[in-house]
Amino acid sequence: MQAVILAAGSGKRLGLLTQYRSKAMQPIVGKPMVERVIESFYLHDIHEFIIVIRPNDKSIRPHLEKNTSYDIKFTFVFQDQQLGMAHALKQASQVINNNFILSACDNLIPLDDLNRFLTTWRNNKQYNGLLTLISLPDEMIPKSGIVELNGDNSIKRIVEKPSLDKAPSNIGSIPIYGFSKRILGYLDKIDISPRNEFELQDAIQMMIEDEGGVYGYHVSERYTVTSPQDLLNVNRAYLRRNNELNILFDKELINLSTQFIPPIHIEPNVKIGKNCFIGPEVFIEKGCEIKDNVSIQSSVILSGTKVEENTIIKEKVLCPFCD
């Protein structure tokens, strides 16, 4: 089975964090987010990936081709304009050869949920689509694709980013899907939306009305990375999951008076001064400098950051360009 990963987005809501790397390359405990997404599917026996990137990409393709140690076949296709998920999928349509998985590069669900989702998709070859679903709080409904379900858990309709008073439910569709190739036939039929995008939900709705066979699979939780707070949350969750003291540094760069409280992950070439307290739930990328008497807790420190002495950092994402 193939998986199509959409990684051409700019990640504007991540602000300054995308000044020196794209959204897809934002780190989750030592690996770019796009690699974490690929890894999660690979662990469930998907070895062929179609990656949609920008034509001027200089980081995603080189990283995946050089650093991914798995037995994976990559095909890279380009989206030259940011015109929505349906437009991105259309760029990959010529190299999709059968039923497939579609995922954004910035969404992760628990591995147990992913396993059950993929098992359901593989065992129901008559489906035209399988959507991952999750219950949403009211404030997230106008930012999400919302579904109305039939009694057999099939999708009756899907609405992209409705106002709260027009939403058919509080059940949102996460951008992780199983599709038959039939969805590709609807990509040319949809009109551009008021947001100046070709909405994947419009193609799904057309397929529902013409053929049906689109179902939902409910998941317990998900992590998405659309803001610095999201990036912090997913890194903390991965650190808690492993609950390790993972320090890859050269010992001569770390003062012995510093104390570490797991879970933490510190990459090589990080310099840490005297009398510091690091942890729990801290990820520090390579090339950072932490001066004397610094306390860091529940935070992500990105490559090249310098933290001045006598600083207390808690629940923050720091980068060289951040305030």
* Domain C-terminal end among 225, 259, 282: 225
Question: Which run of H or of E encompasses 224?
Answer: strand 223-224
Out of 17-21, 142-146, 162-166, least confident range: 17-21
Q: Is the pLDDT confidence value at 166 over 80?
A: yes
Confidence of residue 31 (pLDDT cuts 50, 70, 90): very high
Residues 40 and 82 sit within 8 Å (Cβ to Cβ):
no
Confidence of residue 315 (pLDDT cuts 50, 70, 90): very high
Question: Hunting for tokens 């510190």 — which residue is that?
Answer: 266
Query: pLDDT (tens digit, 9 = 90+) per residue, 294-313?
Result: 999 999 999 999 999 999 99
pTM of the shown model: 0.91
Percent over 70 (pLDDT), the chain: 94
Q: Rounded to whole angstroms, how far apart are CA atoms 154 and 242?
A: 36
Confidence of residue 244 (pLDDT cuts 50, 70, 90): low
pLDDT (0 to 100) of residue 152: 92
Strands ordered across the beta sheet of 299-301: 245-247, 264-266, 282-284, 299-301, 317-318
- Is position 190 within any domain? yes
Within this chain, do residues 116 and 190 fall inside the same structural domain, yes or no? Answer: yes
Give me the mean pLDDT over the 65-73 stretch: 81
Within this chain, do residues 193 and 248 fall inside the same structural domain, yes or no? Answer: no
Closest CA to 104 of 24, 14, 18: 24
pLDDT (0 to 100) of residue 251: 65
* Domain C-terminal end among 196, 225, 254: 225
Within this chain, do residues 219 and 264 fall inside the same structural domain, yes or no? Answer: no
Rounded to the nearest integer, the mean pLDDT of the chain is 91
**Full residue range of the structural domain in which residue 41 is found:** 2-225
Within this chain, do residues 187 and 269 fall inside the same structural domain, yes or no? Answer: no
Give me the mean pLDDT over the 40-48 stretch: 95
Residues 178 and 156 sit within 8 Å (Cβ to Cβ):
no
Tokens read off for 91: 């760029």
Give me the mean pLDDT over the 265-272 stretch: 91
Query: pLDDT (tens digit, 9 = 90+) per residue, 91-140?
Result: 999 999 999 999 999 999 999 999 999 999 999 999 999 999 999 999 98
Within this chain, do residues 8 and 156 fall inside the same structural domain, yes or no? Answer: yes
- CATH code assigned at 298: 2.160.10.10
Within this chain, do residues 60 and 166 fall inside the same structural domain, yes or no? Answer: yes
